[in-house]
Chain A
Amino acid sequence: MAEFLDLEAQDGVRMTWNVFPGTKQEAEGCVIPAACIYTPLKPIPSVHVLPYAALRCRICRAILNPFSIVDYASKIWICPFCFQRNHFPQHYASISEDNLPAELFPQCTTIEYDSSPGIGPTVPPVFLFVVDTCVIEEEIGYLKSAIAQAIELLPEKSLVGLITFGTYVQVHELGFGQIPKSYIFKGSKEMTKDQILEQMNFFAGKPRPAVGVVAGARDGLSTESIARFLLPAAECVLLQMVDDKTYRFHVLEELQKDPWPVATDQRALRCTSTALSVAASLLGVCVPGSGARIMAFVGGPSTEGPGSIVSKNLSEPIRSHKDLDKGGAPFYNKALKFYEGLSKQLVHQGHVLDLFACALDQVGIAELKVAVERSGGIVVLAESFGHSVFKDSLRRIFLTSDYDLGLSFNGVFEINCSKDVKVQGIIGPCASLEKKGPLSSETVVGQGNTSAWKMCGLDKKTSLCIVFDIARKDGPDAVGQSTNNQFYFQFLTYYQHNDGHMRLRVTTLSRRWVAGPGSSQATGFDQETGAAVMTRLVSFKMETEADFDPIRWLDRSLIRLCSKFGDYQKESPSSFSLSPRFSIFPQFMFHLRRSQFVQVFNNSPDETAYFRMILNRENVSNSVVMIQPSLISYSFHSVPEPTLLDVTAIAADKILLLDSYFTVVVFHGISIAQWRNAGYQNQAGHETFALLLQAPRDDAEAIRKERFPVPRLVICDQHGSQARFLLAKLNPSVSYNSDNRVAPGGDVIFTDDVSFEVFLDHLQRLAVQ
């Protein structure tokens, strides 16, 4: 396992199979598809940034890399992908074995190019706040302070815009002197970019140019007309502090609850989709193609406009998973269609949609998912704008610290592969650019049919799951190639770095084919990545395939995998064993079957969409935490130690720290809770108890600090109501109908679910058949 982590540290890549199955048939036999999870902007301290443009192969456009064979004498390099011989250009003239450019250093498999350092004006990023005003006064207050704080934290040069919405969409003009001004659009009406141009006075009385694309300062719009809506953050902040009569201050201060009356049996009219459409079109008009984020703060379900998710009538509940399954969600498909259109527009313009959904009710994340995910946006779900999950997460986005997100814009991701490897697609926050090439597989998973993807927004942690297709057919030539069993991938990521420059990160990898029976295939299996990939796959299938039975699919996959790679005598379950490469994979699958990704009926469609969106952008180790939470036990007797995710971990004199990614639970055993309630920790002589109490809190804080979105912290006691957050995740090895006895001070889970032991028994029996 450790070697996989080392590889990840160097290149940000983890693969399910680090040794590739040699043929298509063999790949199918391996059950788990060949895939990798790649973090394009993973901070790698040793990475070189080269101040010149990358050198490309003139045939396949792949970039010069450490795997290229260089003929120093004739100044020629051979592209490892297409075997084309390329001449070095003039400025590589001094190249020799002792004088290598960095891109040829063997350890520089990942390298960055910044071809224009220090040149030209950089385009400042744009932040367009889209704020829901159909919320109670209290929430408005929270929102005001959160946004004000965010604006203060923004880089000074970045541009800020503000749109509020409720029954109507209100676009605020920030750069207007005499009197605060805003444009009001009807909530039920879709707005096109052209209408925005016409109606928001961008031509200022002049006739609109007859031909050509009208957008942005370069294409016919005056900077003044743009500056009305997008104002540098520095001015916002300064104005706030220096002069309390200026406008910026007002807009936030005077942000009011939507004034339209709402009947008691009705939902507020909330035109989320129209507001987002106006926002997208406004950005499309003002700053097409340069980095911009729409940050949507939504406090309830959309009831007006094309993207509404529920009717105004309160007696009609918001759609549940059951409604979606049974086709009982009349608004769902229309909204989905609308947001698909919006996502296309955003991707085309290169803009990001971030969603901050803070409501006790659903707001429509399930519908919005497509637009947020394809544009690479951030999503945060919390109960209230006053909740720390929201507040801390928002702050984290803008705060510059070790834990900052490193928001980048306008990414384009490309892949080069050796012959015989194709790409089915990517599951993750990106959008296919529909550039079909020899690389694209016929089978499509996620965003496929292309060799290039748009990533309007990406950050340090954005991780893509790339699913490969082994195209090599079984045949005589396959054996013949066994001498040359190396092959290569190259991942290219262009992006707008947060210093404003465009950069290119190149990661080139080499892997080995194996073929034939008794191969060393099994040694290359990375079971954590395998679990992460299977989770993304099962989520994807559940969303896209009708009547898909995830449990059956997972079970069958697991059984087939165990049959293929387990050691056993046929029909003898007791003889079954798995090599260490596979040993914990069944456990992952057991917990995955019980997780929020598969057991969706315990959650609302919004929650499920949220969990999946986060899953689809996280790296392997965090994905594993989501599937199988980590549990640490604290006691007087030992140092804090990881413990089995099992009900038997509970003890009266222990504190447990559960990290299930979205929630961090500190769970006090009953005795600990009683001691704490008695206040022992404050008494002299009980310092160790105080330390014991404090340790899990500190560790929980540490987790919260580095994670985004910031997880929810639950502190609870054994037998308390909040204890359910822990119990739901534990293996029910002790339940009311199991044979196992409850240990003194332990706990029992009231469930019909099978325990891991039972699950494993079944697995062994089926695998050996």
Chain B
Amino acid sequence: MGNSPLAGSQTSTPSKIDPNQIPRPMPGSSIIIFETRQGNQANIPPPSSSDFIVKDTGNCSPRLMRCTLNQVPCTGDLLETSCMPLALMVQPLSLPHPSEEPIHVVDLGESGPLRCSRCKGYINPFMRFVDQGRRFICNLCGYTDETPRDYFCNLGPDGRRRDADERPELCRGTVEFVATKEYMVRDPMPAAFFFLVDVSMNSIQTGATAAACSAIGQAIADLPEGPRTMVGIATFDSAIHFYNLKRALQQPMMLIVPDIQDVYTPLHTDIIVPVAECRQHLEQLLESIPTMFEENKVADSAFGAAIKAAFLALKPTGGKLLVFQSVLPSAGLGSLSLREAEGRTNISAGEKEAHKLLQPADNTLKTMAIEFAEYQVCVDVFITTQTFIDLSSISVVPRTTGGQVYYYYPFSALSDTAKLYNDLRWNISRPQGFEAVMRVRCSQGIQVQEYSGNFCKRIPTDIDLPGIDCDKTIMVTFKHDDKFQEGLECAFQCALLYTTVYGQRRIRVSNLSLPCTSVLSNLFRSADLDTQFACFLKQAASGIPTRSLSQVREQIMNLCISILHCYRKFCATVSSAGQLILPEALKLLPLYTLALTKGIGLRNDGRLDDRAYWVSHAGALSVPLAVPMVYPRMIPIHDLNLKEEDGSVLLSTLPLSSEHLNDEGIYLLENGEDCLIYVGNMVNPDVLQQIFGYTSVNGVSTQFVLEQFNNDLSKKLNNVINEIRRQRSSYLRMRLCRKGDPSGMLFLSNMVEDKNPGGLSYVEFLVHVHRQIQAKMA
């Protein structure tokens, strides 16, 4: 029990708390080498935000799968007592560190991967071979199978198969099996990308169409090479315009589908063609689309009909549908209304039922999305808008089809064009798979309770992922249906059957085997803060559309208090009632909980679309990005020149408290999506000149493009930003915040440790938590 350090004051009076002593995230600076197992024991993974290199020695990399608890409670009662969740965050295609060994591809020929004949679990290092290797016992269900003759191998003196170290599937936590015919209902699909661009009046006039076309034009260069990469494009306003890209034609030909209630695809072939055959046509077309529709006076936008029509074109193969939408879908199938305004005018109902506006307006888009998923069409939506667009309704489509929403609000052609291009480029070039099916198996004793993330679920055990990429995370929660024996291990196995962009069918199998414990303090010691917080974040996000914000906030806070109370009650040795005692592993939980309640999602004053985006973003967010989303990084940049670089470009961060903001300073704040640069009102003009090229920030617009000037400071700043982009796999949306104007207020709203109308200060919150625990103890 020595692992329960004290933090905070010795007494219960808030004035005695030293704000500098309270727990804050401390980024580790050096690279950690992490072996997943040592001495037949699972190692506790390093924090997700730290820099580490994984050596797969039996358990999979924590990048692929992380559990909220690194020891599994033997009984359901124990888990309930602890109040902590038992969940896996699965990111099956996550990006490895460049220095990590690549995942082995195992081809077992026609017989395919060896599987347990009862639970269908895949062969893994934890399956035990017995009877001189003639039989093996499944680590998931405990069934004993005959070893097939051609997989037979003698056992060594240590009881392991002699070939265990030569066979990756017997010594690695993660392997990728080559799928046999058995795993295919049809030939693996080609990588088909279909672009759908809004060309309604607003979209043209704000430059969104031009930005989208230019982004697509540049990004097609990064499409996976090969004859199996297909591409197509359509535009839409109140009608849908397809383009015949057939090479034989001298020019692409526009085919207009005017019926937006009952849509169809105008051609059977030639709308989606191999990219190698149509590059020229496509480039020519993308160049001319903005001018072609220059005079477009059609204000309506038939989003629902357009995605349906594009889906029909993609239906024979499946593929990715990338939609660029700029205005509220106002016409045709699945059109939406200005619910936000309706909500405002009807205040009384609005207050009580506000969360209903975060549910989809109706079932049309959901029904469509389920059909899309069935035919392996994954939809990503790029929202380039300056107005309300009803994201809660629109986001249903990407959520159900394994896609995602990109949100550029308010859209600025000047600053967002680059981000749009980079987002699109990453979207199509990142590691990804198609027509995927995923299933998580676990040892007998617990069972999967629920999956959550962006997917479509048709049968209880599996989830369908028309598209899956390295950024998407799926949360899997578990519940006990039996007991474990102390000392044994509980195994988790995630199998993802998918098609690569080059048309190979693969099964990626990741295994995680964790010790079981019946000791509560072991649970606290092995708790994984980042994973648990990601779990809370997702639970909060899924609660927002169904409950009022205050209820969701209260629930999150109560969860935090209950966990800490349990620790205080059962595990803490110090008995002084006046002390707030935090478990070491979860010492930042109060801070993150506070930040979460003050975030865009749970804040009372947020825009409806912003909150809807927050909800949709959180749904598939990975563990390393969960914390920054509510507790961003703040870095002073005015004095970059003064600091020594010790190998890493990134510098120490500041707590998110306005006490640390200086009027002479410039601060960068990033949460993986947005990058706010705050400029105090007494900054040295020289510094401004070096960074922005102006001596006063009044010359710089709020949405701006950061240029690199020929001076050290500017170069260093650019290096810092590029490093953040690399870490986050995201091109940040830059925004300039000036002290004393609304943009400055935006920045200050991120100072979650401050007391503000939205909630308590960090210190106050700790006191609040403490009082609550005391009340419970009493």
Partners in one complex: yes
Residues of chain B within 8 A (CB-CB) of A254 are: 248-250, 253
Cβ-closest chain A residue relative to B271: A259
A180 touches B254 (CB 8 A): yes
Q: Is B113 an interface residue (CB 8 A)?
A: no
Cβ-defined contact, A205 with B201, below 8 A: yes
Are the C-beta atoms of B297 and A181 separated by less than 8 Å?
no
B257 contacts A184, C-beta separation under 8 Å: yes
Partner-contacting stretch, out of A3-11, A145-153, A196-204: A196-204
Stretch from B260-268, B468-476, B511-519, B762-770 forming part of the interface with A: B260-268
B727 at the A interface (CB under 8 A): no
From 258 to 298 in chain B, residues with beta carbon under 8 angstroms from any chain A beta carbon are 258-259, 262, 264, 266-270, 285, 288, 291-292, 296-298
Task: Say whether A181 contacts B256, CB under 8 Å.
Answer: yes
Residue in chain B with minimal CB distance to A177: B292
State which residues 229-261 of A face B: CB under 8 Å. Answer: 245, 250, 254, 259-261
Tell me whether B258 and A200 are in contact (CB under 8 A): yes
Q: Is the CB of A189 within 8 A of B262?
A: yes
**Chain B hits for A205, CB < 8 A:** 201, 296-299
A168 CB–B CB distance under 8 Å = yes
Q: Mark A180-210, 1 if CB is under 8 A from B, else 0.
A: 1111111001000001001111001110000
**A261–B268 contact, CB under 8 A?**
yes
Contact in complex: B292, A184 (CB < 8 Å):
no
B626 proximal to A (CB < 8 A): no
Query: In the complex the two chains form, is A183's CB within 8 Å of B258's CB?
Result: yes
User: Known contacts being A179-B251, A259-B269, is A206 close to B297, with CB within 8 Å?
Assistant: yes
Contact of A204 among B251, B258, B297 (CB under 8 A): B297
Shortest distance in angstroms between A122's beta carbon and chain B's nearest beta carbon? Answer: 32
**In whole Å, how far is B700's beta carbon from the nearest beta carbon of chain A?**
37
Q: Does B239 contact A (CB under 8 A)?
A: yes
Q: Does A178 contact B (CB under 8 A)?
A: yes
Flag if A259 contacts B270 (CB, 8 Å). yes
Which residues of B are found within 8 Å of A189, using beta-carbon distances?
259, 262
Which A residues from 332 to 361 make CB contacts under 8 A with B? none
Q: In the complex, are the beta carbons of A250 and B258 less than 8 A apart? A: no
Chain A residue nearest to B242 (CB atoms) is A184
B232 CB-CB contact with A under 8 Å: no
Cα separation A200 to B288 with both chains bound (whole Å): 21
Which of the residues A178, A199, A245, A250 comes within 8 Å of B291, measured between beta carbons?
A178
Closest to A254 in B: B249
Q: Is B252 an interface residue (CB 8 A)?
A: yes
B256–A183 touching, CB < 8 Å: yes
**Whole-angstrom CA separation of A259 from B256 in the bound complex:** 16
Q: How far is the CB of B266 from chain A (nearest CB, A)?
A: 4
A535 contacts chain B at the CB level, 8 A cutoff: no
Determine the chain A residues whose CB is within 8 A of the CB of B267 once the complex forms.
Answer: 259
Residues of B within 8 A of A410 (CB): none
A199–B258 contact, CB under 8 A? yes
- A496 contacts the other chain (CB 8 A): no
- Nearest A residue to B250 via CB reads A250
- Interface members, chain B 555-594 (any A CB < 8 Å): none
Give complex CA distance A15, B257 in Å. Answer: 55
Question: By the criterion of a CB under 8 Å from any partner CB, how many residues of chain A are at the interface?
Answer: 26
Nearest CB of chain A from residue B326's CB, rounded to whole Å: 16
* B239 close to A201 (CB less than 8 A): yes
Which B residues lie within 8 Å of A186 (CB)?
259, 262, 264
> How far, in angstroms, from A250 to B254 measured CA to CA in the complex?
13
For the complex, is B255 an interface residue (Cβ under 8 Å from A)? yes
> Are A179 and B285 in contact, CB atoms less than 8 angstroms apart?
yes
* Distance (whole angstroms) from the CB of B117 to the closest CB of chain A: 41
Q: How far does the alpha carbon of A205 sit from the alpha carbon of B204 in the complex, in Å?
A: 14
Residues of B near A199 (CB, < 8 A) are 239, 258-259
Query: In the complex the two chains form, is A184's CB within 8 Å of B298's CB?
Result: no
Which B-chain residue is minimally distant from A196 (CB atoms)?
B258
Q: Binding site of B, secondary structure by majority: helix, strand, loop or mixed?
A: loop
- The 8 Å CB contact of B254, one of A181, A200, A259, is A181
The CA-CA distance from A544 to B232 in the complex, in Å, is 54
> In the bound complex, how far is the Cα of B251 from the Cα of A673, in angstroms?
56
* B269 / chain A contacts, CB cutoff of 8 Å: 259
Nearest residue, chain A, Cβ from B240: A184
Interchain CB contact (< 8 A) of B268 among A180, A183, A204, A260: A260
Q: How far is the CA of A198 from the CA of B201 in the complex (A)?
A: 17
Residues in chain A near residue B285, CB distance under 8 A: 179
Within 8 A of B (CB), among A709-758: none
A170 at the interface (CB under 8 A from B): yes
Question: Which residues does chain B contribute within 8 Å of A185, judged by CB atoms?
Answer: 258-259
A205 to B297: give the CA distance in the assembly, Å.
Answer: 5
Residues of B within 8 Å of A200, CB to CB, are 258
Could you tell me the distance between the alpha carbons of A198 and B249 in the complex, rounded to whole angstroms?
30
Q: Which residues 617-674 of B sit at the A interface, judged by CB distance below 8 A?
A: none
Give the most central of A180, A195, A260: most B CB within 10 Å.
Answer: A180
CB distance from B253 to the nearest CB of A (A): 4
Q: How far is the CA of A765 from the CA of B268 in the complex (A)?
A: 69
Least Cβ distance of B682 to chain A in Å?
51
Most A-side CB within 10 Å, residue of B248, B251, B285: B251
Nearest chain-B residue to A182 (Cβ)? B255
**What residues of chain A lie closer than 8 Å to B270, measured between beta carbons?**
259
CB distance A179 to B252 under 8 Å? yes
B321 to chain A minimum Cβ distance, whole angstroms, is 19
0/1 interface trace, chain A 257-300, chain B, CB 8 Å (1 if under): 00111000000000000000000000000000000000000000
B248 partner residues in chain A, CB cutoff 8 A = 254
Is the Cβ of B255 less than 8 Å from the Cβ of A170?
Answer: yes
**Chain B residues within 8 Å of A180, by CB:** 251, 253-254
- Contact call B254/A179, Cβ cutoff below 8 A: yes
Query: Which partner residue on chain A sits nearest B264 by CB separation?
Result: A186
Q: In the complex, A250 Cα to B252 Cα: how many Å?
A: 11
CA distance A637 to B269 in the complex (A): 67
How many whole Å from B245's CB to the nearest CB in chain A?
12
- Whether the pair B298, A201 counts as a contact (CB closer than 8 A) is yes
CB distance from B288 to the nearest CB of A (A): 6
CA distance A195 to B261 in the complex (A): 12
Cα A372 to Cα B253 with chains together (Å): 33
A182 near B253 with CB under 8 A, answer yes
A168 & B298 in contact (Cβ 8 Å cutoff): no
Q: How far is the CA of A601 from the CA of B253 in the complex (A)?
A: 47
CA distance A334 to B104 in the complex (A): 65
Residues of chain A contacted by B296 (CB below 8 angstroms): 205
A250 and B256 contact, CB distance less than 8 A: no
Q: Across the two chains, which residue of chain B brings its CB closest to A180?
A: B253
Separation of A256 and B189 alpha carbons in the complex (Å): 28
- Report the nearest B residue to A167, measured CB to CB: B268
User: What separation, in Å, do the CA atoms of A181 and B249 have in the docked complex?
Assistant: 13
Q: Are B256 and A182 in contact (CB under 8 A)?
A: yes
Given contacts A259-B268, A260-B268, contact A184 B249 (CB under 8 A): no
CA distance A195 to B239 in the complex (A): 13
Complex CA gap A185/B240 in Å reads 12
Complex CA gap A353/B297 in Å reads 35
Give, as a whole number of angstroms, the nearest-CB distance from B242 to chain A: 8
Q: A178-B291, A201-B298 are in contact. Are A168 and B239 (CB under 8 A)?
A: no
**Chain B residues closer than 8 Å to A168, beta-carbon distance:** 264, 266
CA of A260 to CA of B269 in the docked complex: distance in angstroms? 8
A314 and B190 alpha carbons, distance in the complex (Å): 33
Minimum-distance CB pairs A-B, first 8:
A205-B297, A199-B258, A184-B266, A181-B254, A180-B253, A183-B256, A260-B268, A205-B298
List B residues at the A interface (Cβ < 8 Å): 201, 239, 242, 248-259, 262, 264, 266-270, 285, 288, 291-292, 296-299
List 20 A-B pairs, Cβ < 8 Å.
A168-B266, A178-B292, A179-B292, A180-B251, A180-B253, A183-B239, A183-B255, A183-B257, A184-B266, A201-B239, A201-B258, A204-B297, A204-B298, A205-B201, A250-B250, A254-B248, A254-B250, A254-B253, A259-B267, A259-B269
Name A residues whose Cβ lies closer than 8 Å to a Cβ of B.
168, 170, 178-186, 189, 195, 198-201, 204-206, 245, 250, 254, 259-261
Known interface pairs A168-B264, A199-B259, A205-B298; 9 further A-B residue pairs with C-beta atoms within 8 A, sorted by A's residue number: A170-B255, A179-B251, A179-B285, A181-B256, A184-B255, A184-B258, A205-B201, A259-B267, A259-B268
